[in-house]
Chain A
Amino acid sequence: MTLTAQHLWLIPALPLLVAAVGAFSRHRGIALAAIFAMAGSFVLSCLALAGALQNPAAHAVFNFAWFDLGTGALRLGFLLDPLTALMCVMVTFVGTLIFTFSLGYMKEDKNFSRFFCFLSFFAAAMLGLLIANSLLLLFICWELVGLASYLLIGFWFHKPSAAAAAKKAFLTTRIGDLGLLLGLLWLSEAGGSLLFFDNGQGVLETATLAALSGQTLACCGLALSTAIGLLIFCGAVGKSGQFPLHVWLPDAMEGPTPVSALIHAATMVAAGVFLVARVYPLMSADAVLAAVPVHALTVVAFIGAITALMGALIACAQNDIKRVLAFSTVSQLGYMMLALGVGSWTAAIFHLLTHAFFKALLFLGAGSVIHAAHHEQDIRQLGGLRTRLKITFATFAVGMMALSGVPFLFSGFWSKEGILHAAHGWHVSHLPLYAALAAVVLTAFYMSRLVAETFFGKPRSHAADHAHENSAVMTVPLVVLAVCAVLLGFLGTPAYPWLQATLAGEAVHADFGHLLEGGGLMFLSIGLVGSGLGLGWRLYGKKLRQTAEAHDPLSTAAPSVMAALANRLGFDELYAATVGHLNDLLASLADKLDRYVIGGLVNFIGLVGLFSGSVNRQFDEDNLNGGFDAASDGIRGTGRVYSKTQTGEAHGYLRVIAVAFIVLVLVLSLSMGGAR
Chain B
Amino acid sequence: MNCLLTTIILTPWFGALLLACNPRLSPRFSRALALGFSLTTLGLAAVAWAVFQPSASGYQLVEQHAWIAWLNVSYHLGLDGMSLSLVALTGLIAPTALLASWKIDRDPRLFGLLFLLLQGAALGVFLALDFFPWFLFWELSLVPAFFLIKLWGGPGASRAAYQFVVYTIGGSAFMLLGFAALFAKTGTFDFVALASLAKSGVLAAQLGQPVSIAIFVGVLLGLAVKVPLFPFHTWLPSAYSEAPTGASMFLTGIMSKMGVYGFFRILWPIFPEQLQAAAPVLTGLALAGVVLGAFAAMAQTDLKRMVAYSSINHVSYCLLALFVVAGAGIYTTHTEAAQAALSGALLQMVNHGLSAAALFFCVGILENRSGGRRGIHDFGGVRSSAPIFAGLCGVALFSSLGLPGLNGFVGEFLVFRGVFGLAPWAAFIGCLGLFATAYFLLTFWQRVFHGPQGPGVASFRDLSALEILTLVPTVVLMLVLGVWPQFLMSILNPLVTSWAARLP
Within 8 A of B (CB), among A577-633: 583, 586-591, 593-594, 598-599, 601-602
Within 8 A of A (CB), among B398-412: 398, 403-405, 409-410
The verdict on A591 contacting B500 (CB below 8 Å), with A188-B417, A646-B159 known, is no
In the complex the two chains form, is B485's CB within 8 Å of A67's CB?
yes
Q: B176, B177, B295, B442: which has the most chain A beta carbons within 10 Å?
A: B295
The verdict on A178 contacting B489 (CB below 8 Å), with A163-B446, A185-B416, A189-B421 known, is no
In the complex, A438 has a CB within 8 A of chain B: no
Residue of B nearest to A675 (CB): B187
For A586, what are the chain B residues with a Cβ–Cβ distance below 8 Å? 295, 298, 436
Q: Given B184, B233, B416, B449, which contacts A667 in the complex, CB threshold below 8 Å? A: B184
Binds A, one of B2-10, B161-169, B271-279: B161-169
Docked CA distance A663–B404 (Å): 51
In the complex the two chains form, is B173's CB within 8 Å of A660's CB?
yes
In the complex, B381 has a CB within 8 A of chain A: yes
Docked CA distance A430–B70 (Å): 86
In the complex the two chains form, is B451's CB within 8 Å of A143's CB?
no
For A649, what are the chain B residues with a Cβ–Cβ distance below 8 Å? 162-163, 166
Q: Is the interface of A mostly helix, strand, loop or mixed?
A: helix
Q: Given A69, A158, A164, A661, which contacts B343 in the complex, CB threshold below 8 Å? A: A69
Residue of B nearest to A143 (CB): B404
Docked CA distance A675–B299 (Å): 56
In the complex the two chains form, is A154's CB within 8 Å of B340's CB?
no
The verdict on A68 contacting B489 (CB below 8 Å), with A147-B398, A163-B451, A594-B234 known, is yes
Q: Is the interface of B mostly helix, strand, loop or mixed?
A: helix
Q: Given A70, A158, A163, A661, which contacts B340 in the complex, CB threshold below 8 Å? A: A70
Q: What per-residue 1/0 map shows which CB atoms of B158-199 lie under 8 Å from chain A? A: 110011011101100110110011011101000000000000
In the complex the two chains form, is B234's CB within 8 Å of A182's CB?
no
The verdict on A178 contacting B404 (CB below 8 Å), with A650-B166, A671-B184 known, is no
Q: How far is the CB of A277 from chain B (nearest CB, A)?
A: 22
For A672, what are the chain B residues with a Cβ–Cβ distance below 8 Å? 70
Docked CA distance A602–B489 (Å): 40
In the complex, A157 has a CB within 8 A of chain B: yes
The verdict on A157 contacting B450 (CB below 8 Å), with A653-B169, A667-B180 known, is yes
For A668, what are the chain B residues with a Cβ–Cβ distance below 8 Å? 180, 183-184
Q: What per-residue 1/0 map shows which CB atoms of B373-405 lie under 8 Å from chain A? A: 000000001011000000100000010000111
Docked CA distance A144–B406 (Å): 10
For A650, what are the chain B residues with a Cβ–Cβ distance below 8 Å? 162, 165-166
For B165, what are the chain A residues with a Cβ–Cβ distance below 8 Å? 650
In the complex the two chains form, is B176's CB within 8 Å of A664's CB?
yes
Docked CA distance A139–B159 (Å): 46
Binds B, one of A4-12, A166-174, A326-334, A386-394: A166-174
In the complex the two chains form, is A583's CB within 8 Å of B439's CB?
yes
Residue of A nearest to B437 (CB): A174
For B255, what are the chain A residues with a Cβ–Cβ distance below 8 Å? none
In the complex the two chains form, is B299's CB within 8 Å of A660's CB?
no
Q: Given B337, B421, B442, which contacts A170 in the complex, CB threshold below 8 Å? A: B442
Docked CA distance A262–B73 (Å): 68
For A670, what are the chain B residues with a Cβ–Cβ distance below 8 Å? 184
In the complex the two chains form, is A140's CB within 8 Å of B405's CB?
yes
Q: What per-residue 1/0 map shows which CB atoms of A60-79 lie under 8 Å from chain B? A: 00000011111110000000
The verdict on A69 contacting B299 (CB below 8 Å), with A171-B438, A178-B431, A668-B183 known, is no
Binds A, one of B42-50, B90-98, B361-369, B490-498: B490-498
In the complex the two chains form, is B181's CB within 8 Å of A143's CB?
no
Docked CA distance A142–B296 (Å): 29
Q: How far is the CB of A399 from chain B (nearest CB, A)?
A: 33
Q: How far is the CB of A266 from chain B (nearest CB, A)?
A: 23
In the complex, B333 has a CB within 8 A of chain A: no
In the complex the two chains form, is B451's CB within 8 Å of A68's CB?
no
In the complex the two chains form, is A70's CB within 8 Å of B336's CB?
yes
In the complex, B79 has a CB within 8 A of chain A: no
Chain A's interface size range is 35 or more
For A13, what are the chain B residues with a Cβ–Cβ distance below 8 Å? none
In the complex the two chains form, is A163's CB within 8 Å of B404's CB?
no
In the complex the two chains form, is B300's CB within 8 Å of A68's CB?
no
Docked CA distance A186–B490 (Å): 26
In the complex, A94 has a CB within 8 A of chain B: no
In the complex, B434 has a CB within 8 A of chain A: yes
In the complex, A175 has a CB within 8 A of chain B: yes
For A70, what are the chain B residues with a Cβ–Cβ distance below 8 Å? 335-336, 339-340, 343, 493, 496-497, 500
Docked CA distance A157–B447 (Å): 11
In the complex, B354 has a CB within 8 A of chain A: no
Q: What per-residue 1/0 map shows which CB atoms of B296-337 lie under 8 Å from chain A? A: 101110000000000000000000000000000000000111
Q: How far is the CB of A162 from chain B (nearest CB, A)?
A: 8
Q: How far is the CB of B200 from chain A (nearest CB, A)?
A: 21
In the complex the two chains form, is A591's CB within 8 Å of B489's CB?
no
In the complex, A265 has a CB within 8 A of chain B: no
In the complex, A54 has a CB within 8 A of chain B: no
In the complex, B117 has a CB within 8 A of chain A: no
Docked CA distance A624–B496 (Å): 57
Q: A590, A598, A647: which has the most chain B beta carbons within 10 Å?
A: A590
Q: A140, A178, A587: which has the most chain B beta carbons within 10 Å?
A: A587
The verdict on A186 contacting B420 (CB below 8 Å), with A167-B443, A171-B442, A664-B177 known, is yes
Other contacts beyond A586-B298, A588-B299: 16, CB < 8 A: A66-B486, A136-B413, A140-B404, A170-B438, A174-B438, A175-B435, A181-B434, A590-B291, A593-B296, A646-B159, A647-B162, A657-B170, A663-B177, A664-B180, A667-B177, A674-B184
When A and B form their complex, which 8 residue pairs have the shortest distance between CB atoms, in order from nearest?
A671-B184, A70-B339, A163-B450, A591-B299, A140-B404, A590-B295, A587-B298, A653-B166
On B, residues with C-beta under 8 Å from A are 70, 158-159, 162-163, 165-167, 169-170, 173-174, 176-177, 180-181, 183-185, 187, 231, 233-234, 237, 291-293, 295-296, 298-300, 335-337, 339-340, 343, 381, 383-384, 391, 398, 403-405, 409-410, 413-414, 416-417, 420-421, 424, 427-428, 431, 434-436, 438-439, 442-443, 446, 449-453, 484-486, 489-490, 493, 496-497, 500
The 13 sampled A-B contact pairs (Cβ below 8 Å) are A69-B343, A140-B404, A157-B451, A158-B384, A166-B450, A167-B443, A167-B446, A182-B420, A583-B436, A587-B299, A602-B234, A650-B162, A675-B187
